[in-house]
Amino acid sequence: MHYQVVILSEDAVFARMLELEFAHRGMSVLTASALDEPDSADVLILDLDSAYAPPPGRYRKMIGFSRRPAITAKDARSCTMILRRPFRLSLLRREVLAQTGYPAPQLGYPVPQTEAAPLPPRPARQPERRRITLNEADRTLRCDGQTVSLSPQEFRLLRLLLEQRGKTVSRAALAEAIGAAAGNKTEVYICYLRRKTDGLPSGRLIRTVRGEGYCVD
């Protein structure tokens, strides 16, 4: 839709500023020299301090501005809004857009509405694995910069858990590794291992998988 704005002011610099403001929005802006042409403007912006006066009833919508009390101006009664100079340009801009029904934000320049391309999904960050080393010669565990001594049964259990690291090892498989066919021998040595490893800086080493067995992540 096309809109026209007429600016009447003897202040050429100020009139030019207003002309650029609305021309930037794609509106057709006329100045005092266009007064003799047929009326086709949507809004008249009138400097009430100037000698210009529009023909009576020529403009349906008129916005005035003045340095003096504008109510004394002869054209004040025809104004839909009167601004006292100096005034905020944003107020004038908002009123002109409201008078014309211009489909743009009230403040600031219109921004083209384009559909933004969807951002590619961010790859999930994989947690860094703890560095764990088993030394079979002296049956020690090296983890988080600390060395832990292990008994033969503890070493066998932990070695099997590390061979299946990230997977759940059943209680039966662990019992077979230490030759414990029956009883709670496996749970006892897991308990011993936890006493030695739960205090590591990165936290608990052995995780219980309820109803299945144990796991080292």
Question: Is the pLDDT score of 149 beyond 60?
Answer: yes
64 φ, ψ to 5°? -115, 155
pLDDT score at 91: 81
Angle at 11 between CA 26 and CA 101, to 5 degrees: 30
pLDDT at position 206 is: 92
For residues 51 and 209, what is the distance between their CA atoms, to the nearest angstrom?
Answer: 91
For residue 174, give the amino acid letter.
L
Number of Cβ within 10 Å of residue 13's Cβ equals 7
Sheet hosting strand 140-143, strand order edge to edge: 132-135, 140-143, 146-149
Indicate yes or no: pTM above 0.75.
no
Tokens of 191: 């308990």
Q: Does domain 132-216 fall into CATH 2.120.10.30?
A: no
Quickly state the pLDDT bin for 214 (edges 50, 70, 90).
Answer: very high
Extents of the domains making up the chain? 4-100, 132-216
CATH for 4-100 (3.40.640.10, 3.40.50.2300, 3.50.50.60, 3.40.50.300): 3.40.50.2300
* HEC profile of 25-78: CCCEEECHHHCCCCCCCCEEEEECCCCCCCCCCCCCCEEEEECCCHHHCCCHHH
pLDDT, tens digit (0-9, with 9 covering 90-100), for 81-120: 788 877 788 888 888 888 777 654 444 444 455 555 677 7
